[in-house]
Structure 1
Amino acid sequence: MFPLERQQKIMDLLKLKKVLKISELTEELNISVDTLRRDLNTLTKQEKIEKIYGGVKLVESKFAESSMDERMVSHLEEKERIALKCTEFIQDGDCIYLDSGSTTYQIAKYIKHFKNLTVVTNSIPVVNELMNSSVELVIIGGKIRLNEQSVVAYDYIFNFDQLNILKAFLCASGITVEKGISDYNLEEAITRKKIIDMSKEIYVAADSTKFGKDVTVSIASLDKIDVLVTDANLNKNMIQKFRKTNTKLIIAEGP
């Protein structure tokens, strides 16, 4: 198979599965890792694919939301650092909200040791992660978003007013100084708006690629966000802009 044929095959496979591991590609194409890397380098230079931890994915559209499966492996190390930093704000006995998202999912992995912790969530991956722990779980009711693996709530199904959330950890697809946080999906945005209104402290956990973007649906202005937690790849100019706001910006440094 010629290089162009292999590269087209890689693109065809990615269009079907969105994210592929290196081992999956070498097996499917029956080629060496070195040969595969040359093809991947070519496709990366053409901005058709993006290398991620342990694999590759299609380049994310600027106008659409990437799938949960993609985001679960994209910028994984940064998201783990952000999640670990977020746990510093959690204490025994807290009632917290964990949003549906790949970064907030990582938080669930680090909070199983807390005592008398209650986690309210709309994230099915978070529920699965905490199912066999001592954490008390409350999942909000509503319609399942299959691609996002989340529940989007409606008042007639779930009474938000009965919740007493101390700290809410939210995700966002876009974050700007001017417009605050935003998301691609209206139902997700409505759920987050409700959680913001009823929570005492609001934390947004988002990797640096979300900054400077203002996407489809507005969720909240920065004055409603207490803390932004992101990774060390955030542009210095962007850091200076956010430092001038009343929202606390925290950078989760690497090891």
Structure 2
Amino acid sequence: MFPLERQNKIVELLTVHKVLKISELTNRLQVSVDTLRRDVNLLTKAGKIEKIYGGVKIVETKFGESTINERMISNLAQKESIAQACSEYITDGDCIYIDSGSTTYQIAKYIKNRKNLTVVTNSIPVISELMTSDVELVIIGGKIRKNEQSVVTYDYLFNFDELNILKAFVCASGITIEKGISDYNLEEAITRKKMIERSKFVYVAADSSKFGKDVTINIAPLNKVDYLITDDEIDSTFIRSFKKAGSHLVVKKVE
């Protein structure tokens, strides 16, 4: 594993576990203490992690949501597994919506060979990923959020009523049984609410770090969601709670 790959993996692990001992990291990465210390020093100088007694911890984003570029590399293995699971629900001839987000973006990589597939999206990275495929692409019109590489829209800019979506794959920054799914940005939340209303089936693709969080803007209660798809790092207490609530929780093993 190259140093940059190893450092990204350290950040991914800490994003999930928040705090890890040095011995835990050396075992997980199969590296020497000296090698790990060099990586830790570089990541500490970059402001991504913080040293504590006997270990390290993640440096949390101080104000709300991290950027799309940061999220594209965090929890990458989990997001790829979730995306692959989502792709299994997509069949030839579907008309689907793929939300802007680092997890939903990964779905695009697994559906390029679907036949007669139409993808409606507000994600510029999704458009770029599918541009050379045979997938029919529809991008919603509106204002571009440059730091999210997404398009947010309003009724007076885009006629949502003309859309007839079979399956919507949306992301969320927070998921709780009591409040459902939530996000940091009002404009993104409005777009997601509209797409949920226009879709027959709704799938939420979110890595396990999003569970137990209720962030700024409510998007939808769980009774508006057909499937929650996440990774096997999810705490077992959440699994039991969501089963009791009658939610369809799909846990994908990370390879």
Relative to the length of structure 2, the TM-score reads 0.81
Indicate conservation of the 8 Å contact 1:223/1:246, yes or no: no
Superposed CA deviations along residues 39-94 of structure 1, whole A, max 9, x for unmatched, are 258754349864xxxxxxxx233651000000000000000000000011110000
2:130 is aligned with 1:124: no
Indicate conservation of the 8 Å contact 1:122/1:151, yes or no: yes
2:162 corresponds in structure 1 to 162
Offset at 1:157?
1.7
C-alpha separation between the residues in 2 aligned to 1:232 and 1:22? 22
C-alpha separation between the residues in 2 aligned to 1:212 and 1:81? 21
Offset at 1:172?
0.1
Q: Give the 5 Å matches for 1:19-38.
A: 21=4, 36-38=38-40
Q: How many residues align?
A: 222
Superposed CA deviations along residues 75-119 of structure 1, whole A, max 9, x for unmatched, are 000000000000111100000000000000000000001000000
Pick from 24, 39, 42: which aligns with 2:41? 39
1:199 corresponds in structure 2 to 199
Report the secondary structure of 1:137's partner residue. Answer: strand
- RMSD between aligned alpha carbons? 2.3
Relative to the length of structure 1, the TM-score reads 0.81
Offset at 1:36?
2.2
* Unpaired segments ≥5 residues, structure 2: 8-33
Q: Per the alignment, do residues 211 and 199 of structure 1 end up closer, same or farther by CA in structure 2, a change over 3 Å counting?
A: same
Offset at 1:23?
9.4
Q: Give the 5 Å matches for 1:38-187.
A: 38-39=40-41, 43-46=49-52, 50=58, 59-61=59-61, 63-187=63-187
Tell me the amino acid that sits aligned with residue 37 of structure 1.
D
Q: Which moved further from structure 2: 156-165 or 214-223? A: 156-165
Tell me the amino acid that sits aligned with residue 91 of structure 1.
T
* Unpaired segments ≥5 residues, structure 1: 1-19, 25-31, 51-58
C-alpha separation between the residues in 1 aligned to 2:159 and 2:183? 23
Indicate conservation of the 8 Å contact 1:145/1:151, yes or no: yes
C-alpha separation between the residues in 1 aligned to 2:50 and 2:154? 42
C-alpha separation between the residues in 2 aligned to 1:118 and 1:60? 38
Indicate conservation of the 8 Å contact 1:60/1:66, yes or no: no
Tell me the amino acid that sits aligned with residue 173 of structure 1.
S
C-alpha separation between the residues in 2 aligned to 1:22 and 1:85? 24
C-alpha separation between the residues in 2 aligned to 1:67 and 1:147? 6
Superposed CA deviations along residues 104-145 of structure 1, whole A, max 9, x for unmatched, are 000000000100000000000000000000000000000000
C-alpha separation between the residues in 2 aligned to 1:134 and 1:112? 7
C-alpha separation between the residues in 1 aligned to 2:5 and 2:104? 26
Tell me the amino acid that sits aligned with residue 236 of structure 1.
S
Tell me the amino acid that sits aligned with residue 45 of structure 1.
K
Of all paired residues, the percent bearing the same amino acid is 63
1:4 corresponds in structure 2 to none
